[in-house]
A and B are shown apart, each in its own frame.
Chain A
Amino acid sequence: MTVLQIAALAAVAVSGGAVVIMEDPLRQALLLGMFGLSLTILFFVFQAPDVALSEIVVSTVGLPVMVLLAIRKVRQQEERQQEEQGESADA
């Protein structure tokens, strides 16, 4: 095993642990992008360029964008629900 392969495996393990430990979903989305990038490097170093090509766009752009938009939508819904609760409490 070359040094590059060992380093890529270590990066994947560390960023995977970091994604799970992080509390805020917003920051977890960005860490997910980093995790995808380290996974891409791992695939490339293990002689699998096809898989690396498909993983790089999906996991650095595709997934974090969807998670961020979902978080934004949930926050909008929370604000609207708090407004409605405030109105029904006043009335």
Chain B
Amino acid sequence: MSFLPFAVAAWLFLVGLYGIVASQNLIRTIISLTIVQASTYVLLLSIGYRTGGQAPIFADIPATSNAVDPVVQVLMLTDVVVEATITALLLALAIQAHKRFGSLDPHELRALTD
């Protein structure tokens, strides 16, 4: 049972990868990319966890109590916000691609320029 977080991270990664490969719509590809990003959050979170640990905020608990690792949380924190804006950039690119080529299918984009 203690392998469950890592199994969920691997499952999310592989499922997101399937969504990227098998999609016929650029917007579905971008949404599946979000799932792949979430798998890295789950992995980082489960690496830094300590059993019986509290959140690393010492406002009301003494500074020597058992707390989870704060460094991996810092990595996840900025990542969440930044990757939302990167998804915005990808969606703008998808709209532009649809305007130029008339289709959101990634396999038709190549054919229309021939």
Contact = CB atoms under 8 A, between A and B. Distances in A.
Interface bracket on A: 35 or more
A66 to B, nearest CB: 5
Contact of A47 (B34, B68, B92, B95): B68
A16 B57 contact: no
Interface in A26-56: 28-29, 32, 35, 39, 42-43, 46-51, 54-55
The prevalent SS among residues of B at the interface is helix
Nearest to B78: A54
Contact of B87 (A25, A42, A50, A66): A66
B109 interface: no
Contacts of A29: 31
15 contacts: A12-B42, A13-B11, A19-B32, A20-B32, A20-B35, A29-B31, A46-B46, A47-B54, A48-B55, A54-B77, A54-B80, A63-B34, A63-B84, A74-B94, A74-B104
Interface of B: 1-2, 4-5, 8, 11-12, 15-16, 18-19, 25, 27-28, 30-32, 34-35, 38, 41-42, 45-46, 49, 53-57, 67-68, 73, 76-77, 80-81, 84, 87-88, 91-92, 94-95, 98-99, 102, 104
Given A28-B28, A47-B55, A70-B95, 13 more contacts: A12-B42, A17-B15, A20-B18, A28-B27, A47-B67, A47-B68, A48-B68, A49-B55, A51-B41, A51-B76, A54-B81, A59-B84, A63-B87
